[in-house]
Each structure stands twice: as C-alpha cells, then as structure tokens.
Amino acid sequence: MTKPRSALTATKEGPSDVASCSMRGSENLTSLDNGVQQRIAQHPCYSEEAHHFYARMHVAVAPACNIQCNYCNRKYDCANESRPGVTSEVLTPEEAARKVLVVAGKIPQMTVLGIAGPGDPLANPEKTFRTFELIAEKAPDIKLCLSTNGLKLVDHIDRLKNLNIDHVTLTINMVDPQIGQNIYSWVYFNHKRYKGREAAHILHERQMEALQALKENNILCKVNSVMIPEINDRHLMEVSHAVKEHGAFLHNIMPLLLAPGAYYDTVNQRGPTPQEVKELQDLCEGSMNLMRHCRQCRADAVGLLGEDRGDEFTKEQFLDMPILYDQNTRAKVHAEISAKVEKIRYAREFLRGKKATPKTQDTLIIAVTSKGDGLVNQHFGHASEFLIYRASKDGTFSFIGARRVGAYCSGIETCGDAEDSLDRIINMISDCNILLTSRIGKEPHKFVSAAGIEIVQTYDSIETAIRTLLERTQGITL
Ligand code: CLF
Ligand code: SF4
C-alpha cells in the first residue's frame, strides 16, 4: 500500500457507519436547466428533493464480476453501490420483472428500477438487459437505472441508449493508476487477467471512455467514489474535478465500509469517520454537484432511501402476490406528489426572497429524525439515521448528509437501557448544536442534553422547523 497521502484528520476509529450524500439539493437544482430538472425530478438518488417522496428498487440479477476491489468480498453484494457484508437473493430476469410489477402496484411512488449487482451488471449483460427489456415492455413508466464499474460500458452503450436508460452510475475511485494499484487486485479484460498498475491503467482508460460515451449519448452520469483513508482520500478531489471535466453530473463520495473477509479487512484498513467524509465533501463542493443523501443500499433494496422494505418482497412472498400495477393509479399518485413538491418549492422561493437580518455569526449544525415525506416525524428512539443540515447566519440552510446508526430503541423492553448504543448515537451527532425530533424519552434527553446538544421536539416539515429555529436562535427575521 502507498504511504499516507492524506492531510485529512486521521483517527483510529473503525469503519464509519455513516451513509453520506446529497446534492446540495434545491440550491443546485435551481441552477440546472429545466430539461435536466425534469429528468431527475422523480429520481430519488439524482435529486435530494425527490428522495423524500419517491422510492427506488433494485433487483439482484447480476452475480458475476470482472474486477476485484480490495474492499469487496465476493460472497456479498457489490460494495460500489451496496451496503457491504449483505447478501441479496439472486433472481432470474423473469422473476425480477414480476417482482418489479408487484412492488410498483404496492408502492406507486416507486419510480426507479436500478440494477446494481450483486456483482457488476455489465459482467452479466444478458441477464441485465433481459431484465431491463422485460420491464421497459411491461412497465414503461418506470425509469431504468444502472450502476457499473465501467469496464464494459462502452461495449453496451447502444443497448443502453436503445432502452432509453437515462441514468448510469460509474464507480471511479482513482484517475491515477499508481493509486489504483492499491485499490484493485485484478481486472479481467479481453480474456486475460491483469494485476497491479497495468490492471488499474486498463480500468482507468475504460472508465474515461465510458464517461465520454455517456456524455456523447446524453445519458446522465453519476460517479460514485469510495473514500479510503490514506489511499485515495485527498486524491478524490482530483477525481471529482476530472469526472466533471468528462461530463459527469453528480459526485457521490461514499465512506469505505468493509466487507468482512475483504483484503482491506485482513490488513486492518480503516474507514473514514463521518466528520472526515463531510470535510472531503465540503472540499469537493463548489466545482461539482455533490450527492449527500446516499444510503449505500442493498442490491435488492426496496422503498424510500433510508427505509428498506425488502423483507416484504422476498421471493417466497412476491411469487404469490397479485400484480396490481396500474399506470393510471401511479400517474395520479405522482401528480399528487409533484403538486406537493411544487408547493414546498414555492414557499421556499418566497421565503428566500425575503431579506434575512443576521444578528449572529454562528452556523448551526442540526440533526433531524425523519421517517420521510420531508417531515420531522420520527421518535428519537426509533431513528436508525439522522439527517444533518447546516444553517447559516444569512438564513440559508442546506442538507449535508445522512448518518446511519442502530436505532436506540430496538424493542419496548430494551428502550432506554441501551447505553452503548446511546453513546454511539451521541458520538455520531456530537458536532451538532441542535436535535430536531418528534419525541425523545427522559433518559436519552438527559444524555443528549449533557452532550451540549439542544433538543427541540416538534412535528412539522423539516424546512419550517429549521426556519423557526433560525428565527429563534439566530435572531434572524425571515
Ligand atoms: Fe439504485 Fe444507484 Fe440507480 Fe439509485 S441507488 S442504481 S442511482 S436507483 Fe442511490 Fe442507493 Fe446511494 Fe446508489 S442511495 S447506493 S446512489
Ligand atoms: Fe465487488 Fe463491485 Fe468491486 Fe466487483 S465492482 S469487486 S462486485 S465491489
């Protein structure tokens, strides 16, 4: 491995359990042209705003892979677009298509079907494209989405275009093979296995060609990068710049989460802390749209980002469930959501137009518990993640990330007793000034307050709750 290159603060903590990411949402969205805004309006990963309302699902149809990342154990799902250490139930294309129709009927706000593993979708082209073809034919209102390491993308660009696939994710961890040789063990290309710098060089060249092909075909490209401390952390700023130059639309910097038994696990490679991830995202921001609401979901994830309803649709269950897919019902639900989003956007623009009168220099970091729909509607004890917002002295605020934790109350008997997990949670939000939550029990209230975090209990839209806070704590008139 290379010597430490990073100037980012290094700690000895284990792999972070943070799930980072969100485009500095609505602010960046307003600077996009209308055509792009429409293309991403219902995609929960490409639009931070959409992720509160629209769901995605993945189908696990692609088990093989053509490269070996040092953070991956092939017993588990592809760690480039999935939570490491998780195994998904592999389906045939026909089973996958049935599952999509069942879910689309039950969860009409599901707008995007992604194929993200459990290996690399384009190392399994026949299964991947057969699945896409079946869904395009039976459920044309569902957007198709693909996540790949990029090695084989150029070979399939015409098929992607013909299927009207508008969103592709490439995982690019380096633009310098010298660094890449410490991230990849081998690359299988043109019937030959390459190792070391040569392998990283081939992958890099193919990824750059893939970016170019996506740009030429007007397909929106998001780039995922896994942040590996002392290996590629500082280098990711160069990656961010390079992928933007080559036409990528959005950059998602994800913390390294180790799959048990992966090479990095055997050499005790650590993952970054939430604070390190945030610091790097802040450094990259400005020149590139950053995704900060990624949840590193499973290759068979179902539901809103941040919730996982996969257990409701196991193979045993969905094969027996009726298909209630109906385009008209779905269109109605989408129109209702769209009207709600429009209302929120209008209110935001109206408030932005009003002059803020700052009376303090402070910036507030706010942790929010939410079950979705853009509301502060979750009990502290049930939160398995916190949405983190930064509010500035000029009255503006932005979403800066989602941090995953185990829920404090995993059951009535244990609620309030789980001191260890409470410690971990407080550690996770220790840089926050305020906790916005719908409710919190007496015991955790005591500990969170003792950590210097002010608690505000409310049931309101996140936007309104933060504005109210700003008015009260910052003395800002909005
Ligand atoms: Fe899936 Fe990925 Fe498409 Fe989204 S996920 S293939 S772009 S539909 Fe989204 Fe999940 Fe993060 Fe991926 S939150 S891991 S970025
Ligand atoms: Fe694992 Fe995905 Fe890397 Fe393949 S591309 S080795 S499946 S993390």
pLDDT, mean of residues 278-282:
92
Pocket probe mutation, ligand 2, options 61, 72, 225, 263, max atoms within 8 Å of Cβ: 72
Q: What are phi and psi of 323, to 5 degrees?
A: -90, 110
Which comes out higher in pLDDT, residue 284 or 117? 284
Residues 448 and 360 in one domain: yes
Rounded-to-integer distance, Cα 117 and Cα 101, Å: 19
Residues 314 and 366 in one domain: no
Q: Could you say which of 318, 334, 367 is where a domain stops?
A: 318
- Establish if 351 belongs to a structural domain: no
| DSSP-derived secondary structure for 222-269 | EEEEEE-TTTTTTHHHHHHHHHHHTT--EEEEEE--PPTTSHHHHTTP
Pairing of strands 67-69, 167-171: unpaired
Does residue 122 have its Cβ closer than 6 Å to ligand 2? no
Residues 430 and 285 in one domain: no
Rounded-to-integer distance, Cα 257 and Cα 19, Å: 10
Q: What is the pLDDT of residue 351?
A: 56
Cα 194 to averaged position of ligand 1 atoms, centre (Å): 29
- Establish if 335 belongs to a structural domain: no
Rounded-to-integer distance, Cα 9 and Cα 173, Å: 20
Which candidate, 434, 118, 456, places its Cα nearest to that of 297? 118
Residue found by looking up tokens 């950590």 in the block: 451
What average pLDDT does the chain have? 84
For the sheet with 454-457, list strands across it.
18-19, 397-404, 385-391, 364-368, 434-437, 454-457
Residues 234 and 102 in one domain: yes
Q: What's the CATH code of the domain at 47? A: 3.20.20.70
Two tokens, residue 75 = 């017993």
pLDDT tens, 216-266? 999 999 999 999 999 999 999 999 999 999 999 999 999 998 888 899 999
- Establish if 311 belongs to a structural domain: yes
Rounded-to-integer distance, Cα 322 and Cα 192, Å: 46
Which comes out higher in pLDDT, residue 416 or 96? 96
Biggest alpha carbon–alpha carbon distance for the chain: 66
Confidence of residue 471 (pLDDT cuts 50, 70, 90): confident
Residue found by looking up tokens 């298909």 in the block: 323
Two tokens, residue 455 = 């608690």
Residues 256 and 303 in one domain: yes
- Establish if 2 belongs to a structural domain: no
Does residue 374 have its Cβ closer than 6 Å to ligand 2? no
Q: What is the pLDDT of residue 4?
A: 33
Rounded-to-integer distance, Cα 121 and Cα 59, Å: 11
Residues near 360 by Cβ (< 8 Å), separated by ≥ 6? 393, 474, 475
For the sheet with 192-195, list strands across it.
67-69, 184-189, 192-195
Residues 288 and 425 in one domain: no
- Establish if 60 belongs to a structural domain: yes
Cα 385 to averaged position of ligand 1 atoms, centre (Å): 17
What is the domain extent for residue 387?
356-474
| DSSP-derived secondary structure for 97-160 | HHHHHHHHHH-TTEEEEEE--BS-GGGSHHHHHHHHHHHHHH-TTSEEEEEE-STTTGGGHHHH
Which atom of ligand 1 sits closest to the CA of residue 81?
14
Residues 401 and 278 in one domain: no
Round to the nearest angstrom and report the end-to-end CA distance of the chain.
Answer: 52
Q: How many domains does the chain have?
A: 2
Residues 379 and 291 in one domain: no
Which residues approach ligand 1 with their CB closer than 6 A? 45, 56, 58, 81, 112, 114, 116, 145, 147, 167, 169, 222, 252, 294-297, 305
At 385, the amino acid letter reads E
Residues 287 and 198 in one domain: yes
Q: What's the CATH code of the domain at 467? A: 3.30.420.130
Backbone torsion region of residue 210, taken as left when φ is above 0, otherwise alpha when ψ lies between -120 and 50, otherwise beta:
alpha
Residues near 135 by Cβ (< 8 Å), separated by ≥ 6? 96, 97, 100, 113, 142, 144
- Establish if 298 belongs to a structural domain: yes
Q: Could you say which of 262, 288, 318 is where a domain stops?
A: 318
Residue found by looking up tokens 């983190």 in the block: 388
Cα 435 to averaged position of ligand 1 atoms, centre (Å): 27
Residues 120 and 177 in one domain: yes
Does residue 80 have its Cβ closer than 6 Å to ligand 2? yes
- Judged by its nearest atom, the ligand closest to the C-alpha of residue 62 is 2
- Establish if 350 belongs to a structural domain: no
Cα 119 to averaged position of ligand 2 atoms, centre (Å): 6
- pLDDT over 50 at 12, yes or no: no
Residues 52 and 193 in one domain: yes
pLDDT tens, 141-190? 999 999 999 999 999 999 999 999 999 999 999 999 999 999 999 999 99
Q: Could you say which of 302, 318, 334 is where a domain stops?
A: 318
Does residue 157 have its Cβ closer than 6 Å to ligand 2? no
Per the DSSP assignment, residues forming a β-bridge with 188 are 193
Q: What is the pLDDT of residue 25?
A: 38
- Establish if 410 belongs to a structural domain: yes
Residues 439 and 303 in one domain: no
Ranges 38-52, 233-247, 399-413, most confident: 233-247
